[in-house]
Amino acid sequence: MAYILELHDICKHFGNVLANDHVSLKVEKGTVHSIVGENGAGKTTLMNILYGLYKQTSGEIFIDGTKVDIESPSDAIELGIGMIHQHFKLIPAMTVAENVMLGEEPTLGKVFLDLKKINERTLELSDKYGLAVNPKSMVEEISVGIRQRVEILKALYRNANILILDEPTALLTPQESEDLFRIIERLRKDGKTILFISHKLKEIMQISNNITVLRDGKVVDTVKKEDTDEVHLARLMVGRDVFLKPAPKPKKIGEAILRVEHVTAVNEYHHPVLNDVTFDVRSGEVLGVAGVDGNGQTELVKALIGLQPLSGGKIFIYDQEITHLSVKKMRSAGIGVIPEDRLQEGLVEDFSVQENLFLGLQRSQPFSNGTNINWGAVRSNAEELVKVYDIRTPNIEHKARLLSGGNQQKIIVAREIFHAPDTIIASQPTRGLDIAATDFVHEQLIKQRDAGKGVLLFSLSLDEIMLLSTRIAVIYKGAIVAVVNKDDVTPEDLGLMMLGGSYEHIPA
Amino acid sequence: MHRIRKFFLKQQPVFITIIAVLLAFVIVGLILAATGRNPFNAVYFFVRGAFGNMFNTTDTISRVIPLTIAGIAFLVGAQSSVFNVGIEGQLLLGAMASAVVGYIVKLPAYIHLPLMLLAGALAGGLYALIPAWLKTKRKVNEILSTIMLNYPATYFTHFLVLKVIPIEGVVPATPFIEETARLPILIEGTQLHAGVFVMIMVVIFAYYLLYKTSLGYEMRAVGYNKTAARFHGIPVEKRMNFAFFLSGMMAGLAGAVEVAGVHYRFLDQFSPGYGFDSITVALVGLLNPFGVVISATLFGALKTGILEMSVYSGIPRQLTTLINGIVVLCVAAKDMLGGWYARIFRGKDTYEAQKEISQ
């Protein structure tokens, strides 16, 4: 078998850290080869070496059996390597075609852009691989999924034979991901080789031919897709068995803790965003809220913590009405929240780890007597949480900004759960986290459930909803259209309801 | 070696600021040399002018006092994302209010002096509530509103001393304040007055408030990230209003201390732009209360040192403005130095450095 790409004993040091430790890899031509591993396993470093962004400390790279020296991305492009980064590098104010050609534009007499040719060539490439991109659209007007295709077009235009996709589905909706996989399949059939970087096992199993697992900078194993499954891969990646299976049945479901009755809200343009929302969260259960993004989830979370003005309805914690209270009062009534956008809403990035670990509690015992902060208590709290929740930080005075996303999320989860209120609202709690961190967050939420608290889980991932929920509420156009027991529905049923389909046949 | 590198990386903002200031002096030196003057000679007279003898040193300190207090005024605002560029106006109103209380009211010293300082602080604080209201209720950018509000304050005090308050001497000023409202001179025959203790208290107060109290924590949270603050139950608008008020109070206090310690009356146009300098002082001081003292010392020394330099080394006084400007430019452009600095103390790519700091 001919290998289009071979890596031999690649090592990369960053100071004292060994990011890649003797990584060897063989990639067959015309296959989809996935590189999987946790955040920090060295996937991206390896790809950056291949694309010439970093120089390996030692080791050799062969392309088509010839040893090559990749000093810069232009070398890599020359060698037929294209990389589609996680964050796109497109110019929003230009058209798709102009972006694709940028730097290598066909011209008329070396002065004027040959716009006709530019558009024609882009369309030609787009049609060939079924990308369905309009060359004349402005980039700023197209969706994330289409922008990604423009990035792919850019690589193809530069004659890439090896395409590196770095966590390409991180920003995509499930539908867009499916489209991407179809495109990848088409590219593969055309003889392109795809290096697919991800930590989402499901999609890896769906599209790969071969899978290489990295852990702590080392290759753990390279396997054929036929010889493995998700559980096996997860074990290889994490180095131990992981949760990622349906949560055990709740032990005891008690009375309703949080009750929402006929809540209605409008946005600044007076359009209804919450429409007669009624549900309750009981002690000892996880109520999952399933829905397509933008159907009122964000507003509902805000309503429950006092940031969304309501035009009608009531909210209760036990028998205490908390409608229209300030954020502070609603939270001290017993609501904790893991917000959707952790950098903006959950953390003060320029605060240290210890300062973040008591955010929202800065006037509560033991951190404060109401006036002065007790830094001793802050410190011991931080030290304890860092240990218990395994927050990887050099010290507790380190700025939160400098930590990885997983560790930032751990700070939020630790803070909100440790000072456990009666109800925890978790909004996209595992977005962007790797398996170990996701597993950890799931475990913590289930622990809270079993401690008799009510957990309200908002997630765009149906898998996550199905894994954790006791009951599932479906939100559609600002209204809860159904509340069902998890055991009574299939993901397909839910999917249908999320799109506004009928739900009469589902027993509630 | 590794440790030293790490130290320099961690303290990057501090060192870059120092380098920027030194660079400014080098540039000024080159300008002097280019115009045929001996820069080393100039440095000698500069240092002598600022710290050469008891009189000069105390003169410098007496300028450090208002610069520090006003610098703290900017700092407490900026830490809560309130950019109060109206310190000059608040300072003038504070000085006027304290001068009026100082000459009209008759009271024993232990109550008169605090009262006149409080009057100054309150006048500044209340004046700052105008931009506070505009900002938190009407979403008016506070940089614009505060800078414009400097003018009414300047001309209102000007109007008072010219038209309303009877002038006793030849210069437009209020009458002298009572002895009981004055900050005592600490060393006979010098300008060093007890305002230095007020300054020290203000610095410690600012540090304590911002870093030791729940209120200060909330103010800083608002300063860094309003959304997160709101999500965690901090009343963002209230904290910003408070920051405006406190900032204005500090500014007013700076003016009151000038009246009580230096002029003993409101003298028209007494402030050589302390309010505007306070912004530079606070930024060069890296918005740290103690850093503000150090940077106020630098700018205070610039004011006194340059005076002597121009007298003895024949450098025109107009150059002093230039020197001030170059220091400000260099400090403002210090982020440009950041790249060079990083290359000296870091390895090749920034990712590497990020990792290294995290070790």
The per-residue pLDDT for A356 is 95
Of B79, B71, B86, B120, the residue nearest B215 (C-alpha): B79
Which one-letter DSSP state was computed for residue B317? T
pLDDT of B229 higher than 50: yes
Q: Following DSSP, what letter does each residue of A359-420 receive, concatenated?
A: TT-TTSTTTBSSSBB-HHHHHHHHHHHHHHTT---S-TTSBGGGS-HHHHHHHHHHHHHHT-
Which of A15, A402, A403 shows the shortest C-beta gap to B352?
A: A15
Beta carbons of A370 and B214 less than 8 Å apart: yes
Beta carbons of A345 and B224 less than 8 Å apart: no
Beta carbons of A402 and B233 less than 8 Å apart: no
CA-based nearest residue in chain A for residue B350:
A14
Task: Tell me whether B237 touches chain A (CB under 8 Å).
Answer: no
Q: How far is A40 from chain B (nearest CA, A)?
A: 11
The per-residue pLDDT for A502 is 56
Which of B214, B228, B235 shows the shortest C-beta gap to A344?
A: B228
- Average pLDDT score, chain B: 88
The answer to whether the A3-238 and A250-334+422-508 domains have the same CATH topology is yes
Beta carbons of A15 and B229 less than 8 Å apart: no
Which of A54, A328, A350 shows the shortest C-beta gap to B233?
A: A328
Which one-letter DSSP state was computed for residue B162? I
The per-residue pLDDT for B1 is 58
Which helix (H) or strand (E) is A287 found in, with range?
strand A286-290
Task: Tell me whether A325 touches chain B (CB under 8 Å).
Answer: no
Residues of A within 8 A of B212 (CB-CB) are 372-373, 375
The per-residue pLDDT for A352 is 94
Q: How far is A339 from chain B (nearest CA, A)?
A: 8
Task: Tell me whether A12 touches chain B (CB under 8 Å).
Answer: no
pLDDT of B353 higher than 70: no
Q: How far is A345 from chain B (nearest CA, A)?
A: 4
- Provide the CA A163 distance to its chain's centre, in angstroms: 22
State how far the Cα of A287 lies from the Cα of A471, in Å rounded to an integer. Answer: 5
Q: Following DSSP, what letter does each residue of A180-213 receive, concatenated?
A: HHHHHHHHHHTT-EEEEEES-HHHHHHH-SEEEE
* Domain extent listing, chain A: 3-238, 250-334+422-508, 343-420
- What mean pLDDT do residues B342-354 have? 51
- Taking only Cα atoms into account, the Rg of chain B, rounded to an integer number of angstroms, comes to 22
State how far the Cα of A468 lies from the Cα of A458, in Å rounded to an integer. Answer: 11
Q: Are strands A210-215 and A32-36 parallel, antiparallel or unpaired?
A: parallel
**Beta bridge partner(s), residue A11:** A58
CA terminus-to-terminus distance, chain A: 56
Task: Tell me whether B235 touches chain A (CB under 8 Å).
Answer: yes
CA-based nearest residue in chain B for residue A366:
B214
Q: Are A241 and A46 in contact (CB under 8 A)?
A: no
Fold exhibited by the domain A250-334+422-508: Rossmann fold (3.40.50)
Q: How far is B256 from chain A (nearest CA, A)?
A: 29
State how far the Cα of A132 lies from the Cα of A146, in Å rounded to an integer. Answer: 9
Which one-letter DSSP state was computed for residue A488? G
The per-residue pLDDT for A499 is 74
Mapped onto helix, strand or coil, the DSSP state of residue A482 is strand
Please state, in angstroms and as integers, the Cα–Cα distance from residue B268 to each residue in B159, B167, B174, B175, following that order. 10, 11, 9, 12
The per-residue pLDDT for B350 is 43
Which of B227, B232, B354 shows the shortest C-beta gap to A360?
A: B232
List the single best residue of B225, B238, B288, B350 to mutate versus A (max A Cβ within 10 A).
Answer: B225
CA-based nearest residue in chain B for residue A305:
B231
Surface of A (342-401) touching B: CB under 8 A: 344-351, 355, 359-360, 362-363, 367-368, 370-373, 375, 393-394, 398
Grade residue B348 by pLDDT with cuts at 50, 70 and 90: very low
Beta carbons of B229 and A348 less than 8 Å apart: yes
Which of B213, B354, B355 shows the shortest C-beta gap to A371?
A: B213
Give the start-end residues of each E strand in B26-152.
none
* Domain extent listing, chain B: 67-271
The per-residue pLDDT for B339 is 66
The per-residue pLDDT for A107 is 78
pLDDT in tens, B185-206: 999 888 899 999 999 999 999 9
Beta carbons of A402 and B358 less than 8 Å apart: yes
Beta carbons of B217 and A362 less than 8 Å apart: yes
List the single best residue of A20, A348, A355, A364 to mutate versus B (max B Cβ within 10 A).
Answer: A348
Q: How far is B218 from chain A (nearest CA, A)?
A: 8
Q: How far is B216 from chain A (nearest CA, A)?
A: 9
pLDDT in tens, B23-36: 888 888 888 888 88
Which one-letter DSSP state was computed for residue A306? T
Which one-letter DSSP state was computed for residue B170? S
Task: Tell me whether A231 touches chain B (CB under 8 Å).
Answer: no
Q: Are B266 and B97 in contact (CB under 8 A)?
A: no
Fold exhibited by the domain A3-238: Rossmann fold (3.40.50)
CA-based nearest residue in chain B for residue A348:
B225
Q: How far is A12 from chain B (nearest CA, A)?
A: 11
**Beta bridge partner(s), residue A61:** A7, A68
The per-residue pLDDT for B358 is 40
The per-residue pLDDT for A244 is 60
- What mean pLDDT do residues B80-100 have? 96
Beta carbons of A328 and B227 less than 8 Å apart: no
Q: How far is B199 from chain A (nearest CA, A)?
A: 23
Q: How far is A399 from chain B (nearest CA, A)?
A: 10
- What mean pLDDT do residues B86-111 have? 96
Which of B227, B234, B357 shows the shortest C-beta gap to A345?
A: B227
State how far the Cα of A365 lies from the Cα of A381, in Å rounded to an integer. Answer: 12
Chunked into runs of 10 residues, chain A (508 residues) has average pLDDT values of 86 79 91 86 87 89 91 89 85 87 78 83 87 86 85 90 88 80 91 89 89 89 88 79 69 89 87 91 94 86 91 92 89 89 88 94 90 94 91 88 84 85 90 80 91 92 88 92 90 79 50
